Amino acid sequence: MQWQTGREYRIGKSCRGQGRASSHPARGCPGGRAVAVVSDEAKREFCVKHGAAGVINRNDFKHWGPMPDTKDAKAYGEWAKGARAFGKAVWDALGERTSPRIVFEHPGEATLPTSGFLCATGGMIVICAGTTGYNVTMDLRYHWMRQKRFQGSHLSNDEQAAAVTALVAEGRVDPCLSETYRFDDIPHCHQLMLDNKHPYGNMGVLVNAPQPGLGRA
């Protein structure tokens, strides 16, 4: 996937990992704007500080979860009402009726139906995890008739990793390093992630270095 100028991006789970990694490249492309989605108001400031054009709290909406059967008109109508309200929140965050051309998905089961619904015509939903579950429901009518793409991703290939590294070196992307640990602290880092207590941004681990600050500035 290539970052392009003048595009809008919606990013789920925006303070850690995938979400944090997505907001900066969007900002680094002229005209690119990212709308972050969080589950805690405490994360709003972090997202804005690191490049989000707007922030939406998913807890303001109640339609999350597997999409109802399209044959159940009442249940599907209620779900679609919630999905449209969320789409309007994206427009409000951007200040115009523009839907995201790229949606970065992380929760999976609970949010993918909405992501597929609101992604712009000709746009793409990128999925890299399924923290709320692996079973997916989607209204395919919005997918094929609006020519959307559903792309799986597990970080990057060599060329893409080099491109992001270049953006960091140029100062266009902040790696959002929250804390640096010794190599022997790797189990502790994993425990922090398991307990969902890891700090916003990225944790770094020293490799063949006795202390921070010895690498290239």
Predicted local distance difference test score (pLDDT) of residue 167? 87
How far apart are alpha carbons 55 and 43 in whole angstroms? 9
- Give per-residue pLDDT as tens, 160-203: 889 988 988 888 888 888 899 999 999 999 999 999 888 888 89
Cβ–Cβ < 8 Å for 116, 123: no
Domain hosting 81: range is: 8-152
pLDDT band, very low/low/confident/very high, at 29 (cuts 50, 70, 90): low
Q: 116 and 212 in one domain?
A: no
145 or 19: whose pLDDT is higher? 145
Which amino acid is residue 136, in one-letter code?
V
Q: Which two tokens stand for residue 217?
A: 């500035």
Q: Which two tokens stand for residue 133?
A: 């579950």
Domain-embedded: residue 170: no
Rg (CA), the chain: 18
Domain-embedded: residue 164: no
- Give per-residue pLDDT as tens, 109-150: 999 999 999 999 999 999 999 999 999 999 999 999 999 999
How far apart are alpha carbons 8 and 27 in whole angstroms? 10
Domain boundary (152, 184, 205) is at: 152
**Has residue 5 got a pLDDT over 90?**
no
Average pLDDT rounded to a whole number, residues 72-86: 97
Q: Which two tokens stand for residue 92?
A: 């409000």
Domain-embedded: residue 169: no
Predicted local distance difference test score (pLDDT) of residue 16? 46
Predicted local distance difference test score (pLDDT) of residue 24? 53
Q: 106 and 68 in one domain?
A: yes
Q: 50 and 147 in one domain?
A: yes
User: CB atoms < 10 A from the CB of 137, how many?
Assistant: 16
Q: 187 and 146 in one domain?
A: no
Nearest one of 27, 121, 12 to 57, comparing CA atoms: 12
Q: 204 and 143 in one domain?
A: no
Provide CB contacts within 8 A for 118, sequence distance 6+.
10, 83, 86, 87, 90, 99, 100, 103
**Has residue 3 got a pLDDT over 60?**
no
What does pTM read for this prediction? Answer: 0.79
Domain-embedded: residue 82: yes
Q: 112 and 40 in one domain?
A: yes
DSSP code for 39: S
